[in-house]
Amino acid sequence: MNKPIRRVSIFCLVLVLALMIRVNWVQGVQADSLANHPKNLRTKFDRYAYPRGNIVVAGGQPVTKSDFVNGYRYKYKRAWVDGPMWAPVTGYSSQAFDTSQLEKLEDGILSGSDSRLFFRNTLDMLTGKEKQGGDVVTTLSPKAQKAGFDGLGDKKGAVVALDPRTGAILALVSTPSYDPGSFAGTGDADSKAWNALQADANKPMLNRALRETYPPGSTFKLVTAAAAFESGKYQNVTDVTDTPAKYLLPGTNTELKNASANEPCANATVQDAMDLSCNTVFGKIGAEVGGDKLRAQAEKFGFNNDQVDVPIRAAESTFPTGSKPDGTAMDAIGQHDTRATPLQMAMVAAAIANDGRLMQPYMVDEERAANLTTISKHTERQLGQAVTPSTAQKLQQLMESVVANGTGTKAQIKGLKVGGKTGTAQHGVDNKGLPFAWFMSYAKADDGRSVAVAVVVEDGSNERDEISGGGLAAPIAKAVMQAALER
Catalytically active residues, by annotation: 218
- What's the burial of 218, exposed, middle or buried (CB within 10 Å: 0-12/13-18/19+)? buried
Count the neighbouring beta carbons within 10 Å of the beta carbon of residue 21: 10
Report the distance separating Cα 300 and Cα 262, nearest Å.
35
Nearest to 245 by CA among 269, 272, 217, 268: 268
**DSSP H or E segment with residue 457:** strand 450-457
The number of residues making up the chain comes to: 487
Terminal alpha carbon distance of the chain: 90
Report the distance separating Cα 252 and Cα 250, nearest Å.
6
Nearest to 165 by CA among 376, 380, 484, 455: 380
Contacts of 381 (CB under 8 A, 6+ apart): 167, 359, 360
State CA 169 to chain mean position distance: 8
- Cα 431–Cα 435–Cα 438 angle in degrees, nearest 5: 135
**DSSP H or E segment with residue 479:** helix 474-485
